[in-house]
Amino acid sequence: MTLTERILIICVLAVLAVKPAAQAQGDTATAKSRLIVGGYGEAVYNHNFYSDNVFRYSFPDRYKQSAGHGRVDLPHAVLMLGYDFGHGWTMGTEIEFEHGGTESAVEIETEETGEFEKEIERGGEVALEQFWIQKSFAPALNLRMGHIVVPVGMTNSNHLPTQFFTVYRPEGENTIMPCTWHETGVSLWGRWRSLRYEAQLLPGLNSNYFNNSGWVHDGSASPYEFRPANKLAGAVRVDFTGIKGLRLSLSGYVGNSFNNDIVTDKRTRYDDVKGTVLIGAFDFAYRNRWLVVRGNADYGHLSDAAVIGPRNQNQNHSTSSPYPHTLVGEKAMATGIEAGVDVLAATNTRHKLFLFGRYDYYDSFIPADGQADFGWSDRNVFTAGVNYYPIPEIAIKAEGGIRILGEEYNNEPFVAVGVTWAGYFNK
């Protein structure tokens, strides 16, 4: 039995166990309302009209005539479970299967003298994206403890596939910061009139994972059975919804990242190195009967990048270590805006058909003084397509676009189609 199958069985048993236990209290209607079951998922086909060779940026002339490559994917398949225990206590959890999860097995090879052989049959990831207990004192004061989403930027706070037009998540934020970003920590949040706030205490990122193509994107990873937390960090977010149809949001993150691993560097040359990560983000969304517009602007700064980058590039890890051996930029940024018009809005149908366009600009490596730049990290992306909603919980998407790099590199056109859904089964 594969790991994916085992987790699915555990989830089903959890649902079956919780529901009868609640109903045993004698109030069937109340018991049903206390249990929340939902999820979301995506199935995608895309064709990229450019080479996927790892040296396509180092030697772009060699790959100008590439026919490209096609892919099918299950970017995310998520099961959400929640329960209201009463007296202000609730729980929530999300189990996520990325890219189909993993399939591994041990087999006995009959033609190899009965040797046991491990096989990886499918790549992918299985992650516990949320797992928390919450105590609600009032609408304006809630304490959440456990594994939680870090609400920095637009996508981390709005990552369901029905909350953006593109087939894949908007790639600017998805490149320069963890997405969906989830950590084990404590969150204080609440709503007051037109405001929602959230403040979190979290483990810091790990600078060993920073790199030139994704800035701090991989910094929340851990190959161990635990997450190193030598350094702590904080995240905040404020949403304003006082104008009909409009949401305005500010969010940020601050935390040190150097030596936040099980192996720390005690050499005196690094005594003053902190690797402080600062991220500031603004995002908005506007919706009326005809129109949806969303946008974001994110800026990040890493102190001591001129020291951390060369150390990461030259550190003496074995080739089997999980760390990249690249420089990391002192700064990174991502901006994006998308707009969609519902061409069926004038009809009396529940169906929606959005024609949309999107523009992204992002740079995952803005160098520190004395560092050379990577021209391929600076990108403009133009995308246009359609989203068809037969019901609010399901979106069928199609798009075409182009990623424009510097003059010395090859541009990257692509097309993609996807079937996505997001909803609750017992709403």
Percent of the chain with pLDDT over 70: 86
Calpha distance 278→301 (Å, rounded): 5
pLDDT tens digits for 276-292?
999 999 999 999 999 99
Q: Would you mind telling me the total number of residues written for the chain in this entry? A: 427
Lowest mean pLDDT among 20-24, 178-182, 384-388, 389-393: 20-24
3-state DSSP assignment of residue 261: coil
The pLDDT score that the predictor gives to residue 7 is: 46
Tokens 């209201």 label which residue? 84
Among 400, 356, 404, which residue's Cα sits nearest to residue 378?
A: 404
Tokens found for residue 160? 């369901």
Confidence band, pLDDT 50/70/90 cuts, at residue 159: very high
Confidence band, pLDDT 50/70/90 cuts, at residue 426: confident
pLDDT tens digits for 355-383?
999 999 999 999 988 888 888 999 999 99
- Cα 57 to chain centroid distance, Å, stands at 25
Q: By the 8 A CB rule, do 223 and 209 touch?
A: no
Burial of 97-114, coded b for 16+ CB within 10 Å and e otherwise, reads bbebbbeeeeeeeeeeee
- Cα 156 to chain centroid distance, Å, stands at 6
Reply yes or no on whether the pLDDT at 141 is more than 60: yes
Q: By the 8 A CB rule, do 247 and 239 touch?
A: yes
Cβ-Cβ contacts under 8 Å for 4 (sequence gap 6 or more): 97, 101, 102, 103, 126
Neighbours of 120 (CB within 10 A): 10
**Furthest CA-CA distance within the chain:** 72
Reply yes or no on whether the pLDDT at 105 is more than 80: no
Q: What is the CATH number of domain 38-424?
A: 2.40.160.10
Tokens found for residue 262? 């099980």
| DSSP H or E run through 309 | helix 305-314
Half-sphere exposure (Cβ direction) of 335: Cα atoms closer than 13 Å: 4
Confidence band, pLDDT 50/70/90 cuts, at residue 28: very low
Tokens found for residue 154? 């637009």
- Cα 250 to chain centroid distance, Å, stands at 18
Tokens found for residue 213? 């193509």
3-state DSSP assignment of residue 382: strand
- Position with higher pLDDT, 126 vs 138: 138
Calpha distance 7→106 (Å, rounded): 18
3-state DSSP assignment of residue 332: strand
